[in-house]
């Protein structure tokens, strides 16, 4: 008879606790020519984001007279992974670009920017899983740095499954380990108050474990939010 492992019995490849992220780095103001910019990393996964705007939307037929438009562009650079990937947009990058917009839009106050666009360019310069979450975190910081009015900051983290137990901030080694038993990956984005602005589910999970995943994400994003807030505060003190 097989005994189900508890959280404390799950040994992660890098020795982390089940609810522990990889080392996090966050910094804003890294691209002088952008209206706002930021870098965010989960361990070896590094994302940079640059914001341009608000500025007049072109072409004109794409303009929204009711409010401004958020336009995100997510891109994994060809040298970001061990095996070079084909440069340029792909189906995956276009999907994550749209997901990033959905994750950020609920907190943006852009009703007064009719017919204008805010462009957010996200580049993954080094990839070791959780790239979309790192990209969303970098984009949120860059938007705040650009002075775009926001109701709140959003924070994103991935929840995965090792064996039958849930873990926070999945690495590539853990993704590869999971594949043999049917990987489950749950990227979740939340406000600082714990409201979900984005959740995805790739794989199978019970209703009880999904609730546990959301609870884990809520605790993890609280810690990440403090790091984001500190990065913004330090930039303000430098001015």
Domain 14-238: give its CATH architecture: 2-Layer Sandwich (3.30)
pLDDT, tens digit (0-9, with 9 covering 90-100), for 126-183: 999 999 999 999 999 999 999 999 999 999 999 998 778 899 999 988 887 655 554 6
Full DSSP string of 60-117: GGG--SSS-EEEEEEEE-TTSSSSPPPPS--HHHHHHHHHHHHHHGGGB--TT-TTEE
Domain range list for the chain = 14-238
Percent over 90 (pLDDT), the chain: 69
Separation of alpha carbons 146 and 55, rounded Å: 13
pLDDT, tens digit (0-9, with 9 covering 90-100), for 55-80: 999 888 888 888 999 999 999 886 66
| Whether pLDDT at 8 is above 70 | no
Residue 81's pLDDT is what? 61
Quick one: angle between helices 131-145 and 207-238, nearest 10? 40
| Average pLDDT score over the chain | 89
Q: What is the pTM of this model?
A: 0.90
């Amino acid at each position: 008879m097989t005994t189900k492992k508890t959280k404390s019995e799950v040994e992660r490849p890098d020795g982390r606790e089940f609810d522990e992220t990889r080392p996090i780095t966050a910094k804003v103001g890294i691209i002088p020519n952008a209206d706002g910019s930021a870098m965010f990393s989960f361990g070896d996964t590094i994302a940079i984001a640059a914001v341009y705007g608000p500025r007049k939307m072109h072409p004109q037929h794409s303009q929204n007279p009711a409010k401004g438009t958020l336009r995100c562009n997510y891109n994994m650079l060809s040298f970001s992974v061990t095996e070079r990937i084909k440069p340029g947009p792909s189906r995956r990058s276009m999907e994550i670009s749209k997901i990033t917009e959905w994750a950020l839009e609920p907190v943006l106050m852009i009703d007064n920017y009719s017919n204008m666009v805010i462009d957010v360019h996200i580049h993954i310069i080094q990839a070791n899983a959780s790239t979309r979450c790192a990209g969303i975190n970098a984009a949120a910081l860059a938007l705040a740095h650009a002075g775009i009015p926001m109701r709140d900051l959003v924070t994103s983290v991935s929840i995965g499954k090792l064996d039958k137990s849930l873990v926070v901030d999945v690495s590539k080694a853990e993704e590869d380990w999971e594949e043999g038993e049917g990987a489950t990956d749950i990227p979740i984005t939340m406000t600082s108050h714990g409201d979900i602005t984005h959740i995805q589910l790739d794989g199978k999970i019970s209703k009880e474990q999904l609730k546990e995943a959301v609870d884990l994400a809520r605790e993890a994003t609280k810690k990440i939010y403090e790091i984001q807030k500190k990065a913004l505060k330090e930039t303000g003190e430098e001015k």
